[in-house]
């Protein structure tokens, strides 16, 4: 059993198509809004390579038409799983662009529904990240920071309630003002499984791991970031949630 899927998101951003292309078609650009560390070997026949903990996918580029169309992935894994990404960029008057983001593929196994729910929630966060990055941090690039909380969470609603208390929010809703590790921030993305907080130094993302812990996937725009020290700091922060 499994599921074929296709998810389309459309966003408008205050950026020229060439600026959008730098964000979606370069390693430093992707690092600034997507998960983990990324490298891009550009051109048709090239590849986009990621590294998120032990997951290190390589996706072949199937369309490369700068700055208007990029597509990669879709190769089947041994269990039949496949995922592909496509970005269509259209310039608009006034220096803005519309980005059409399409994620499609196949999820195998009896637990496809749970995985699809988690992937949809995470995908919504990353699309919002792209919009936030191009709005607030255009021209800068981030150091990606990944950290994991305790191995298993028995009660997610209780954990999110503890999270809200930790950041000083009565409710984790878009627009809520918070304090994250002593820094003022605002919630810019929220769904049942994720929350995104923007500060002057970056995008701080928290995701409910699929059959796993709470995961931090941050994009720190400050200069001179020590990634290892940041990962240790956020691992400790997550552990303190209980």
Tell me: the pLDDT tens digits for 98-153? 999 999 999 998 888 888 888 899 999 999 999 999 999 999 999 999 999 988 78
Q: What is the mean pLDDT of residues 76-96?
A: 95
Q: Which CATH number fits the domain 143-239, given the four candidates 3.30.1490.100, 3.30.530.20, 1.10.10.10, 3.40.47.10?
A: 3.30.530.20
Q: Across the beta sheet with 2-13, what order do the strands follow?
A: 2-13, 96-108, 82-92, 69-73, 58-65, 47-51, 37-41
Q: Which fold has domain 2-136?
A: Alpha-D-Glucose-1,6-Bisphosphate; Chain A, domain 4 (3.30.530)
> In the predicted model, what is the mean pLDDT of the chain?
95
Question: At residue 154, does pLDDT exceed 90?
Answer: no
Q: What is the pTM of this model?
A: 0.95
Torsion angle in degrees (nearest 10) through CA of 21, 26, 31, 33: 10
């Amino acid at each position: 059993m499994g599921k074929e899927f296709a998810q389309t998101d459309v966003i408008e951003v205050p950026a020229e198509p060439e600026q959008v292309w730098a964000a979606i078609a370069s390693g430093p650009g992707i690092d600034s809004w997507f998960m983990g560390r990324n490298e891009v070997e550009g051109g048709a026949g090239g590849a986009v390579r990621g590294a998120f903990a032990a997951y290190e996918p390589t996706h072949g580029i199937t369309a490369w038409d700068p700055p208007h169309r990029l597509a990669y992935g879709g190769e089947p894994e041994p269990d039949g799983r496949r995922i592909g990404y496509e970005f269509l960029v259209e310039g608009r008057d006034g220096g803005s662009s519309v980005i059409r983001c399409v994620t499609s593929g196949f999820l195998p196994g009896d637990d496809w529904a749970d995985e699809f729910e988690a992937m949809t929630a995470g995908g919504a966060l990353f699309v919002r990240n792209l919009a936030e990055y191009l709005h607030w941090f255009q021209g800068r690039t981030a150091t990606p920071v990944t950290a994991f909380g305790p191995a298993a969470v028995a009660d997610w609603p209780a954990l999110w309630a503890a999270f809200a208390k930790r950041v000083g929010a009565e409710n984790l809703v878009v627009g809520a003002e918070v304090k994250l590790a002593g820094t003022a921030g605002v919630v810019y993305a929220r769904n049942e499984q994720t929350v995104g907080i923007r500060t002057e130094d970056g995008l701080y993302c928290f995701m409910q791991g699929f059959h796993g812990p709470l995961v931090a996937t941050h994009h720190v725009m400050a200069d001179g970031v020590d990634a290892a020290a940041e990962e240790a700091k956020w691992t400790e922060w997550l552990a303190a949630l209980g």
